[in-house]
Amino acid sequence: MASEDYGEMSREDICEYLKEKGLGKWADKFKGKSVIKLRDLKNDGFMSGMGIHPPEDRQEILDSILKIWPSAPKVFNDPIHGHMELHPLLVNIIDTPQFQRLRYIKQLGAGYFVYPGASHNRFEHSIGVGYLAGELVKALKEKQPELNINDRDILCVQIAGLCHDLGHGPFSHLFDQMFIPKATRTAKMEDWKHEDASVDMFDHLVESNEDLKWRMKACGLNLSEDLDLDLDLVFIKEMIQPPAAQEESSPQWPYKGRPEEKSFLYDIVANKRSGIDVDKFDYFARDSYHLGIKNNFDHGRFIKFARVCEVGGQKQKHICTRDKEVNNLYDLFHTRYSLHRRAYQHNVVKIIEYMIAEAFLKADKYIQFEGSKEKKSTLSEATGDKEADTKLKGQQNPPCADKQSQIEGSKRRKLNLSTAIDDMEAYTKLTDCVFYQILNSTGTERDLIKAREILKEVVDRKHYRFLGEIKYEGIPTKDEISQFKKELAAALPFPQEGAPADGLTKEDFVVLPVTMDYGKKGKDPIDSMYFYNKNNPDQTFKIKREEVSKLLPVQFSETLFRVYSKKIDPKRLEAARGHFEKLKILKN
């Protein structure tokens, strides 16, 4: 498709844009047109017919508009999906600093310290999700034109897929699952997840990149705040971070971006109902490829058989699949479990993540990033001159007025590792590179020195050693983990009077609870999926596990206590193993 075939702008938007760019004298000439396309502007007779006769004026208008008009699409060559053609607006978003930051955040966090092939980053994963989101929604539009999927819907879904991981911190899930909960100051921030930052970062991306909003309007997106209209930016953010209760039985429609008849669009990027979405399609395929682990799930086949149906007699419509695809879906969730067991939750990966998080906590207040500009309410506060505000009052053109305007907003906030999540300008600078920033730091503060030592142990492969694991029923609390460590230290291989001969205490052990499941905690994820039959494609139903095979799992979740020793010299490591084996005997 040629670049002039992309995009159009309403007369209101084109007039507003011309005024913003100092070309307001020509704005009234466009009021007679409801919609303006680029191919029209390139035609000399179009602007002449509106009364814009000087060629230099027509060229100035055209040059200004070309800066925001979408260009031709670009093709990305990807090892997973082959040649991916992306809409020009997606390319504009990819080219922003906020998106380019994802080049420096490993997709599998500390997994690269164990799997040499796991060098891929959030950058290529996000592009893959944006591409697959477009493929799925386009397939639905082609198969079911009655769904009234329009170009705006497709573009919004693609943008949500592209931007869904903007908020990941250093080493991906390590940051929001192991570091932030221990580093934050309030209970509210303990529940902070990378999706929160993804929404904040998306807002920052749109606001801080010149003309991006105009490019969005030129591509047909509606950025109006009128609640009676479809809100495209709201819709994108709802797909990135769905409301907390995305329940199919919810009595009220919880979304604002799209009406209930388009509820199926919320199943594409982050499907909280069934867990089957294009995010998983990409990372299963991409992670398996880089880890050297076979992926049994065929997402292309799922897209071929995907169909939107009304479910459970409700108005809501969801993406369903053919009944014969139920085994393919079990393969999907088994692949998820296998990746967690063999890679994401690998015993060495988890302890390296623990050690990196430990180093981040100790270095937190010493590693700082420059954030957004501070707003000073008074000249006195900014200059330290207590009488400055008094001097300023009553003067028509006070000499310090210029100084006031320079000072307001001139000073930038300084934020550390944990507080950077409150300021997206600072957070943009926060990537995996902070690992080496700490490792190569020269500060003499005690905690910073300790942080350097921990990271050096990681680099030198002197990480805490794995002793073994014990199955645990349920999800352990912090008190239960602490009690387990006490029992571990007290479990002497050869009990003696007084202090243990080996000198090991509970502080010498690390206990990490690890939960692995099929994506729906202890539930069978297929229970949340609806199917259709080729003879009656509009009638949906569920399939019970017993109807599929007797060889499928009965339990869908398990929790393990992983036990590690901080002491890695041969003598004390052997003693630590003795403690663990003794405790296993005591707990049967």
Q: What is the 3-state secondary structure (H, E, C) of 110-129?
A: HHHHCCCCCCCEHHHHHHHH
> In angstroms, rounded to a whole number, what is the distance separating the alpha carbons of residues 568 and 463?
8
Confidence of residue 456 (pLDDT cuts 50, 70, 90): very high
Q: What is the mean pLDDT of residues 487-505?
A: 70
Determine the pLDDT at residue 87. Answer: 95
Pairing of strands 317-322, 531-533: parallel
Q: Are strands 536-541 and 557-565 parallel, antiparallel or unpaired?
A: unpaired
**pLDDT value, residue 550:** 83
- Model pLDDT, residue 127: 98
pLDDT at 4: 46
* CA pair distance 57, 66, nearest whole angstrom: 14
What angle (nearest 5°) sits at the alpha carbon of residue 479, between those of residues 478 and 482?
Answer: 90
Return the H-helix or E-strand segment holding 223: none
Separation of alpha carbons 547 and 232, rounded Å: 42
Structure tokens at 31: 């009021």
Chain segment 45-79, per-residue pLDDT in tens: 778 888 888 888 888 888 888 888 777 889 999 99
Residue 491 has pLDDT above 90, yes or no: no
Residue 247 has pLDDT above 50, yes or no: no
Tally of CB atoms within 10 A around 97: 13
Token digits of residue 220: 């047909």
Range in 123-127, 130-134, 312-316, 489-493 with the lowest mean pLDDT: 312-316
**Residue the block writes with tokens 């807002």:** 203
Considering only residues 552 and 394, tell me which one the structure prediction assigns the higher pLDDT.
552
Sign, CA torsion 246/251/254/260:
positive
Considering only CA atoms, which of 516, 520, 523 is closest in space to residue 559?
Answer: 516
CA 187 from chain centre, in angstroms, equals 22
* Share above pLDDT 70 across residues of the chain, in percent, rounded to a whole number: 87
Residue 394 has pLDDT above 70, yes or no: no
Q: In this model, does residue 327 exceed pLDDT 80?
A: yes
CB 471 within 8 A of CB 555: no
Question: If pLDDT is split at 50, 70 and 90, which confidence band does 1 have?
Answer: very low
| For residue 164, pLDDT beyond 50 | yes
pLDDT in the model for residue 3: 47
> Among 31-35, 92-96, 170-174, which is the least confidently predicted range?
31-35
Output the six-digit token pair for 555.
């339990």
∠ CA 304-305-309, rounded to 5°: 130
- Tell me: the pLDDT tens digits for 504-551? 899 999 999 999 999 888 889 999 999 999 999 999 999 998 898 888
Tell me, what amino acid is at 422? Answer: D
Q: At what angle do helices 55-66 and 11-20 cross, to 10 degrees?
A: 100
Q: Residue 220 carries which side chain, given as an amino acid letter?
A: G
* Closest C-alpha among 136, 471, 531, 108 to residue 330: 531
pLDDT band of 465, cuts 50, 70, 90: very high
Distance in angstroms (rounded) separating the CA atoms of residues 526 and 545 = 8
Do β-strands 465-472 and 557-565 pair in parallel, antiparallel, or remain unpaired?
antiparallel
Q: Answer positive or negative: Cα dihedral of 189, 191, 193, 198.
A: negative
Question: Mean pLDDT across the stretch 428-445?
Answer: 96
pLDDT, average across residues 255-282: 94
Question: What is the pLDDT averaged over residues 252-263?
Answer: 90
**What pLDDT is stored for residue 123 in this prediction?**
98
Residue 163 has pLDDT above 90, yes or no: yes
Average per-residue pLDDT in the chain? Answer: 87
Spatial CA neighbour of 438 closest among 421, 420, 451, 450: 451
Name the DSSP class of 266. G
pLDDT of 37 reads 77
Query: What is the reported pLDDT for 389?
Result: 54
Residue 499 is predicted with a pLDDT of 45
pLDDT band at 25 (very low <50, low <70, confident <90, very high): confident
Closest by alpha carbon to 90, among 129, 140, 148? Answer: 129
Judged against a pLDDT cut of 60, whether residue 186 lies above it is answered with no
As beta bridge partners, residue 448 has none
The mean pLDDT value for 4-27 works out to 79
Three-state DSSP state, 172: strand
Enter the DSSP assignment of 167: T
Q: Greater confidence, 496 or 586?
A: 586
Q: Coil, strand, or helix at residue 559?
A: strand
Quote the CA–CA distance of 514 and 560 in Å, as a whole number.
Answer: 5
Measured CA to CA, the distance from residue 215 to residue 345 in angstroms comes to 42
Instruction: Give mean pLDDT, residues 482-492.
Output: 88
Model pLDDT, residue 192: 87
Distance CA 210, CA 215 (A): 10
pLDDT digits (tens, 9 = 90+) for 206-244: 999 988 999 998 888 988 765 555 589 999 999 999 986
Please check the confidence at residue 259 and state whether its pLDDT lies above 80. Answer: yes
- Where is pLDDT greater, at 14 or 7? 14
Percent of the chain with pLDDT over 90: 59
Contact by Cβ (8 Å): 463, 352: yes
Q: Residue 236, Cβ neighbours under 10 Å: how many?
A: 26
Look at the alpha carbons of 12, 17, 19, 25 in this order and tell me if their dihedral is positive or negative.
Answer: negative
Tell me how far apart the alpha carbons of residues 158 and 89 are, in angstroms, rounded to a whole number.
10
Q: How far apart are CA 165 and CA 269, in angstroms?
A: 11
Considering 309-313, 315-319, 361-365, 546-550, the range whose residues carry the highest mean pLDDT is 361-365
Query: Which residues pair with residue 412 across a beta bridge?
Result: 373
> 19-33, 175-189, 325-339, 398-412 — which is least confidently predicted?
398-412
Residue 501: is its pLDDT beyond 50?
yes
Name which residue leads in pLDDT, 257 or 42: 257
Helix (H) or strand (E) holding 350: helix 347-363
Residue 246 pLDDT greater than 70, yes or no:
no
Q: Which residues of 332-361 are buried (b: 16+ CB within 10 A; e: fewer)?
A: bbebbbbbbeebbbbbbbbbbbbbbbbbbb
Q: What is the pTM of this model?
A: 0.89
Mean per-residue pLDDT, 564-586:
92
Q: How far is CA 424 from CA 137, 161, 208, 344, 543, in A?
A: 31, 20, 10, 28, 45
User: Tokens for 459?
Assistant: 């680099």
Catalytic residue among 168, 194, 290, 463: 194
* Spatial contact of 129 and 282, defined as CB atoms under 8 Å apart: yes
The pLDDT value given to residue 191: 79
CB 345 within 8 A of CB 514: yes
pLDDT in tens, 133-160: 999 999 999 999 999 999 999 999 999 9
- Is residue 194 among the annotated active site residues? yes
Q: Which residue carries 């200059």 as its tokens? A: 383
